[in-house]
Structure 1
Amino acid sequence: MLSLLHVLPLLTSLALASPIQLPHLLVTRQDIQTPINSSLPNVTIFATGGTIASQGASNTQTTGYQVGLGVQQLVDAVPEILNISNVAGYQISNVGSGSINSTISLTLAHMINAELAKDDVSGVIVTHGTDTLEETAFFLSSTVNSPKPVICVGAMRPATALSADGPLNLFQAVTLAASPAGRDRSTMIVLNDRIGSAFYTTKNNANTLDTFFSTEAGQLGVFINQVPFFFFAPAEPVGRIVFDVDSVSDLAQVDIIYSHQDMDPALFNASVAAGAEGIVVAGVGAGGTSSKAALAMEELYNATGIPIVASHRSSDGFVPSGEDDVTIASGFYNPQKSRILLQLALTVGYDEAAIREAFAKSYPMP
């Protein structure tokens, strides 16, 4: 078996190409701990890159750093992990999270579903850049069907920085993935001592350590002296849908259009002309747009029947359903999570009525 350290340079160069083509035969499993300790739980890490796998030129550099550390190097930096679990790893990509695409997301879903189906695997971890971590986490929450924990983890400071947060975040993620307390909670996000639901958690600050949380639903739990403590018993997020993507090799194209003063209505037609099969509007207020944009959406919908989801550009909020037959209310889903839900619904063949129902499940009304 080839070591990840041998295939990492090839994987990195391929992952940086556009579009990304993943050589599945080279995404090689590596048992990082040898020999395996039969008394410890087994955890698998899927590494994708991001700040947690980055290095700067000095220990004070916290911007402009370079991605490049592999999964073996991440674990080597926290050898204490091997005292609490047997760790295996896959290097899926090594890119900033802005370059994560549907090929990588689907590869993760396929491989994680297969890994969690193994009786001897307690849970899995995805190391990821923070900029789009919430999108991958929500995608996995919507495509991985297992009671075992899936933990998405990243860092806000590169591995070379003073007080780098990645090592402790990774240690806590492994602790949670190996813990029975993590079961039946779907995909979770672990950063800065907090445990959040992938269904609700979002990145709230571009720079600070204290950035991942859910302002409305709250946190699932916290780490106290590196032990996970949950505030609630395991519960399913209201409206969560798990899509079967085992046979899916590509996702429907869905674009997000940002609403603002004097927005150009031509963007809607341009999006469809570029191949979009669905559109999400990051609307002002509770999903609103200008009157010109609303007219453009109505004309586009009448001509094509393309699903248009109205979400909110504010960090939190709720878009209610109304008498508008043109748009689909996003409910509590923000634009980026609305996009993923619409992508998956279109990919598996939902019609408009089923899409409306999928979004409405997150806010059942009496």
Structure 2
Amino acid sequence: MTDKPFQPASRAAPSPVSIGDAAPLADRSGDRVLIPPVAQAPERPPSDIVWSLGGQTMGTTWNARLIAPPGADKAAFQSAIEAELAEIVRLFSPWERGSEISRFNAAPQGVWAVSQAFWDFLDAAMDLGDETNGAVDPTLGALVDLWGFGPPGPRSPLLPTPEDEEIVAALKVSGWQKLRLNRDARAVMQMGGMKLDFSALAKGHAVDRVSDRLMAMGATSHLVEIGGELKGRGVKPDAQPWWAEIERLADSPAPRTVVALHELAVATSGDYRRAFEHQGRLYPHTIDGSTGQPVDNGLASVSVLHAQALRADAYATALTVMGPYDGPEFAEGLGLAAHFVQRTDRGLVERMTPAWRAMMDDDTA
């Protein structure tokens, strides 16, 4: 076996890896292919052994394909992934009454010390709130519950939408600018009634944590997926990258798109994922903290590619909240690779940032 790194795979790529509910492709004819820039040839995987693992977590499914190092124990990898995901749930799931986030949300007014892991994640979420001017906001739990997307469950069909007074009351205990952190004490101020919600971040964070755990265990080539958020590292034994299909609306004007997830994550936010319809209007689960209501700006889906799954997840949500005009402008300013599909009177219209377009294969641009 040579110690030389693998050479990059040909741009004429085979069908993508199918993960979760993604339908396998018979061929790539007519597909759009995205290839991220690669600074240097990827290193050889640790072996030729490819394992597929999976399970349930966070109200959805997880899947992992990994190239195991020689002598590795498959059960140990399964257990390690499950341990990482269980820790995410223990810290950040509002559906678990004993989780750290649930304890904070139920706490009376006061200053409460939190664990280091909770603090680090909340601090990162607050930074994203600052960066996006609240388009990512970890304090909207009261509004999420009010609209029927939180642990209390859906609203009654007799009263599917909240009254204005209810929205105003929930807004009073929401807003990332109202949350106070005591860094010296590693403590968070509960103003009374504020509810944290990390639904725009948790899956991406979990993908990153699982990926880092696999790296630490010697599986330096792998593809991780949780509820549609994916991250790929390294390459497969045949030197091909991990191929994945971008989530796509049935009537989208964009062709079927596959991306080489080499040191790259992808996340998609869509108004079709969790939503309800009332009097002809669609109410998606993404809440705009500036209005206290589900977004209603015409964006049907936003996909983002980023090295960190956490940021891909967060930016997909933020760009959805920003809308079809401010969202692309913000994304271009940051150099994000992002793709937008907007509902218009003319039907679905797509838009992509220069960084997204730059990844497109010459034959599919």
TM-score w.r.t. length of structure 1: 0.27
Q: Which structure would you say has the larger RCO, counting Cα contacts within 8 Å and 6 or more residues apart?
A: 2
TM-score w.r.t. length of structure 2: 0.27
